[in-house]
Amino acid sequence: MRILAAMSGGVDSAVAAALAVEAGHDVVGVHMALSRNRDQFRTGSRGCCSIEDAGDARRAADVLGIPYYVWDLSKTFEETVVADFLSEYSAGRTPNPCVRCNEHIKFEALLDKATALGFDAVATGHYARIETGPDGVRELHRSPNDAKDQSYVLAVMGRERLDRSLFPLGGFASKEEVRAEAARRGLSVSAKPDSYDICFVADGDTRGFLRDRLGERPGEVRDTDGNVVGEHQGAYAYTVGQRKGLGLGRPAPDGQARYVVDVDTGSNTVVVGPAELLSVDRISGGEAVWLVDPPATWTACSVQVRAHGRAVPAEVRADAGAAGLEIRLGEHLRGVAAGQSVVAYRGTRVLGQATVARAWRDAPVAASTGARA
């Protein structure tokens, strides 16, 4: 097959490209330039897409003996991933930019361009497995490397794009194995630090990034009784479940910790309250993406609402028209915020994904659903 290997300049994508070459595919490497100011896009192990990263990707391609190109996707990245990030925070929601990057950049802009150029598939360094079921349908599964599993952020890709994707690292159980594979092949990125946090917020100061882009919007922090207990410089900088950085100056009357329980950007108000107000047992989501036939009735599963969060037992079903989904949790979850991605699994297989629209507590104690993880 003709394979386009997405090469970020890190060890994972370099080894993925090497394995695609070893498998006998006709491989071409491409580095995605996602910022027009790439020399400022990495601070140590923070961020990505710097000039350094492009150079590392080129050197890996040279070692592998494959053609290498740089594609400027910075305009698309700014107009989709960054714009969505700012829009969601402005609306008081909590987005996951890695989900949007996989949706709009890696498995839309990149994959669709690759298809138009005659490539059969795109190979990436994601930690996830693709298996073919007994019905011949390709399935997305968790990686055996629990610490690095990326099936959560890949769930948004959908069936059609899954059919044109390769994840050569799917069988690796640890990052150490991948680094050893890179060293064995003479790839200089074998010891390169992982990038982390939000790639376009290279210094890790998300609140500062939002303030620079959205401006200061001073407002009040109130408790659940409506009493003013503090001030903020922009409600957009807070998320449901947040405890640190509230700057309240004094504890609650009962001495208990206070958490953000609501963000109302309409009135520019942040509401804080006790931890028990964060527990939910029902979730509704919109913009659903299914990797199976949308279940019309309640179906046992497990669900995850954070990239490396704990999966909990639940039941899921598609809503009318399968545009969204509904979830009944088998146990309470804390701090589920609108805008987060919720992913449903059966065992290790991804069933579907949606963006959280609402999370609430339907009963004081979650009823048993009979669901299995």
The phi-psi region of residue 295 (left if phi > 0; otherwise alpha if psi is between -120 and 50; otherwise beta) is beta
Report the alpha-carbon distance of residue 188 to residue 69 in Å, rounded.
19
The phi-psi region of residue 297 (left if phi > 0; otherwise alpha if psi is between -120 and 50; otherwise beta) is beta
The one catalytic residue in 48, 49, 98, 199 is 199
Strand bridging mode 138-141 / 228-232: unpaired
Contact (Cβ atoms closer than 8 angstroms) between residue 95 and residue 89: yes
Question: Which residues 6+ apart lie within 8 Å of 107 measured at CB?
Answer: 122, 154, 156, 157, 158, 161, 165
Is residue 48 flagged as an active site residue? no
Question: Which residues 6+ apart lie within 8 Å of 271 measured at CB?
Answer: 221, 222, 223, 224, 260, 261, 262, 263, 264
Distances, alpha carbon 212 to alpha carbons 207, 234, 331, in Å: 9, 11, 39
Phi and psi at residue 96, in whole multiples of 5°?
Answer: -120, 100
The one catalytic residue in 49, 98, 101, 301 is 101
Question: In the structure encoding, which two tokens stand for residue 183, read together?
Answer: 């060293």
Report the alpha-carbon distance of residue 187 to residue 168 in Å, rounded.
16
Question: Which residues 6+ apart lie within 8 Å of 254 measured at CB?
Answer: none
Is residue 98 flagged as an active site residue? no
Residue 76 DSSP one-character state: H
Q: Cα(first)–Cα(last) distance of the chain, in Å?
A: 36
68: helix, coil or strand? strand
Which residues are known catalytic residues?
Answer: 101, 199
